[in-house]
Amino acid sequence: MLKRAALLVGVLLTVTAGAKPYVVGGTLASVSEAPWAIALNNTQSASSSGRYCGAVLVAPNKIVTAAHCMDEAVSTYYAVQGRADLADDSTGQTAKISKVWVHPKYNTKDNRYDFAVLTLAKPFVGVPVLPLETRTRADRAGVVPTVYGWGDTQGTGPDETLQKAAVPDLGDSTCTANQSYVANGYAAATNICAGYVEGGIDACQGDSGGPLVLNGRLLGVVSWGQDCAQPGKPGVYAEVAAAAPTLQSQLH
């Protein structure tokens, strides 16, 4: 199982080998179309830009990311908004993290409820926020949400630059039919199975915690996968509607 976080110095956050560090097969996205897309950077990142995980602004002072991204000291994280190219520190704004809340049902064995809510030390005032999806029926086969992130492109796009990709919802049965996915904790009630059976387009390492968006709402966050963009190995997203009441209680 691959957790789609980025690299810290000397530390690869994977459970299985073979992972590559972006949205694979995506296209460039602008910060104006996704102002709520947040790069959750870390001062200990192997990248000079600080790239580590993705996140999404859900209130002026709150961001949602993946729980598995939060394995370093709080003081080492900072949020970046409005910066399409993470190497260009002349654009966008940053804020340190003052508080971290991890979903109480999250654990590293099955990776369900892979959510963390972070409080910004300085709110991103005047930036549109993305509302949470609260309807479990929104996760259904045939809809086509979009994933955003600065993660590994495997050469399909520029490094550390905001990308987007349409990833069809394949329905839970596609992932539950894969015994290795079930063994790694995939559950219909708490996960979304999205991508392409033939591979080629997918979230990847460095995209963890980034938003999966459908109809202007946060449908899910990037959680894990097996390799990136490989045939028969779609992406796994933490389903927001399954945890919406608990998440909303942290946004005040």
Supply the CATH number for residue 111's domain.
2.40.10.10
Total domains present in the chain? 1
- Residues marked active site are found at 68, 114, 208
Burial class of residue 229 (count of CB atoms within 10 Å of its CB; 0-12, 13-18, 19+): buried
Domain region containing 172: 1-252
Per DSSP, 166 falls in state: E
User: Is the pTM for the entire model greater than 0.85?
Assistant: yes
Quickly tell me which residue has 């949205």 as its tokens: 23
Q: Per the structure block, which two tokens stand in for 140?
A: 């259904």
Tens digit of pLDDT per residue, the chain (252 long)? 556 765 443 322 332 322 323 488 999 999 999 999 999 999 999 999 999 999 999 999 999 999 999 999 999 999 999 999 999 999 999 999 999 999 999 999 999 999 999 999 999 999 999 999 999 999 999 999 999 999 998 888 887 999 999 999 999 999 999 999 999 999 999 999 999 999 999 999 999 999 999 999 999 999 999 989 999 999 999 999 999 999 999 998
Query: Which residues does 139 contact at the CB level (< 8 Å), separation at least 6?
Result: 169, 172, 192, 219, 220, 239, 241
Residue 138 to residue 233: CA distance in whole angstroms: 22
